[in-house]
Chains A and B, each alone.
Chain A
C-alpha cells in the first residue's frame, strides 16, 4: 500500500512528509522497491532493464549509466549485462531487481521477501548489501517470513497477523516480552520419553528437537535442579544442557495465537 500499488480503504500515510495518495508521484520518487512477485523484463537485457527504471525515475542519462555500471559490478552481474534476463537464474534476477530498486539512490527501500528461494551465497550477499544501505542512511522496510533474517537485519520488527500489527518493537524487547517462552534444551545418553520430561516440576511443555529435548519453563534456574534430580532417578547422564531465550519464531507464534 505504501508503494502505491494497493489503494487504501481509509486512513492516511505519508512518506517523508508526502501523502501517498495526494502526492503519490513525489512519495514514490523517493522509494526503491523490490516487490515479491514482480519480475524484471525477461525480454530485455539487464542493462536495458536498469536504463528503463532509471528513466522512469527521471535519473539523467550519465548518472544512470554510472550507477548501473557500479551496481552491476557490486552485484556480480556486470559480465552478463548485455544478456537477456530470460536466461538468468532466480538469484541473478533477484540481484537485478535490487539493482533496479537502487538506480535512483532511494531514501527508503521496500523489500518484499528479498532472499526467498535463493541460494545461501546470494542470500548472504543481499543481506550484506541491505546492511550497507542501512549504514549509509537509507531506511529499509523488509517484509519477510524468515524470523532469523528479521532478527539479523532489523532494528524494529512489526509482527502482522490478519493485516493488523500484533506487536512492534526491537527484536530483543520482543523476546523479553515473552518471558513465558524461556526454555531449557537438554540431551541425555539414553532415549527419554517426552511425556516423562513434561511431568518434571516447572516444565510447561516438552518438545523433541533432533536428539535433544526442549523444555518450555517459567523459571529456568528452578527447573534445572528438578531436571538433575530426574536424571539421577532414571540413571541418565546429561550430555548437554543449555538455557535458551525465546526465539523470534516463538514470539511470533505466541503473539499470533494471542491475537
Chain B
C-alpha cells in the first residue's frame, strides 16, 4: 500500500515537471511554429509536382508532424537544464530520475498530441474521410508516446550540457529515419532492401496505421503496427532512463 502510494505520489509529481516544461519550452512561439513548419515544408517538397490523392498525402503529413513535434524539444531539455544549473536543484528534490524523465516524456507527448490535430483537421477540411477513427486515435496516441520516449533517448548520450550539439545529433538521426519510413513512398512500393530498412523505424508503423485508418489498407496488419509501436515506446523509455541514470553525475 505504502509502495503504491509512493509510486502514485511520484507520478503526480511528474506533472509538475510537465507544467514546468510547457511553461519554459513548449509554449514559446518559435517552438510551436517550428514544430509545424518543418513537417509542413517537408510535406510540400514531397507533394508539389506529384499527382497524388489527398488520402495518400494526409498519412504522410500526419506521420511527419507527430514525429517532428514529439521529438522537437525533448532532446534539449536535460542539456538545457545542466547548462542553466537547474538540474542539480531538480535532482536534489524528493523525486526519482524516473519521475523527471516521465515528466519530460509526457510533456513531449502532450505537445505532439495537440499538434497532431492540425493535419487531421486539415485533411478533413480538404475532404479526406477517415475510415477508422478509432485506429487513428489509438495509433496517434501510441506513436506520440513512442516518439516522445525516443526524444529523451536522443539526449541520453553523450552527457553534454550543450543543447545545440544534441539538437544537431538528433537531426542527424531523425531526418534519415523519416526518409526510410515509408512516409514519402508507401512500404509496398519499396524494394526488398527498402522494406527491410524501413522495418527498423518506428515511424514506419505509425504511417502504416495512418494509411489503414484513412485509405482503408496498409502493409502490415493493424495489430502488428500497434504492438511494434508499443514495444518501441517501452524499449526507448526504459533504455533512455537507464542511460540517463548512469550518466547523470557527469552532467553536474
Contact surface of A with B, Cβ cutoff 8 Å: 3-7, 25-26, 28-29, 31, 33, 35, 37-44, 48, 52-53, 55-58, 100
Contacts and interface: CB of A to CB of B under 8 A. Distances in A.
Contacts of A5: 88, 91-92, 252
A114 B114 CA distance: 42
Interface in B201-252: 249, 252
Nearest to A97: B89
A44 B24 contact: yes
B13 A6 contact: no
30 contacts: A4-B91, A25-B6, A26-B94, A28-B92, A29-B94, A31-B92, A33-B92, A35-B88, A38-B85, A38-B88, A39-B85, A39-B89, A41-B24, A41-B84, A41-B86, A43-B24, A44-B20, A44-B24, A48-B20, A52-B20, A55-B13, A55-B15, A55-B19, A56-B13, A56-B95, A57-B93, A58-B12, A58-B13, A58-B94, A100-B89
B88 A28 contact: no
A7 B92 contact: no
Contacts, number: 73
A52 B15 CA distance: 10
B9 interface: yes
B23 interface: yes
B199 interface: no
Interface of B: 6, 9-10, 12-13, 15-17, 19-20, 23-24, 84-86, 88-96, 249, 252
Contacts of A33: 89, 92
Nearest to A52: B20
A34 B9 CA distance: 24
B37 to A, nearest CB: 22
Contact of A39 (B6, B13, B84, B93): B84
A5 B248 CA distance: 9
Contacts of B90: 56
A122 B92 CA distance: 25
Nearest to B10: A25
A56 B84 contact: no
Contacts of A35: 88-89, 92
A37 B189 CA distance: 56
Contacts of B16: 52, 55-56
Contacts of A4: 91-92
Given A5-B88, A39-B86, A44-B20, 7 more contacts: A4-B92, A28-B92, A29-B94, A38-B88, A41-B84, A42-B84, A56-B16
Contacts of A37: 85, 88
Q: Give 5 closest A-B pairs by Cβ, nearest first.
A: A55-B16, A28-B94, A29-B94, A56-B93, A39-B85
Contacts of A38: 85-86, 88-89
A41 B94 contact: no
A42 B81 CA distance: 11
A26 B94 CA distance: 7
A41 B84 CA distance: 8
Nearest to B90: A56
Nearest to B28: A43
B189 to A, nearest CB: 46
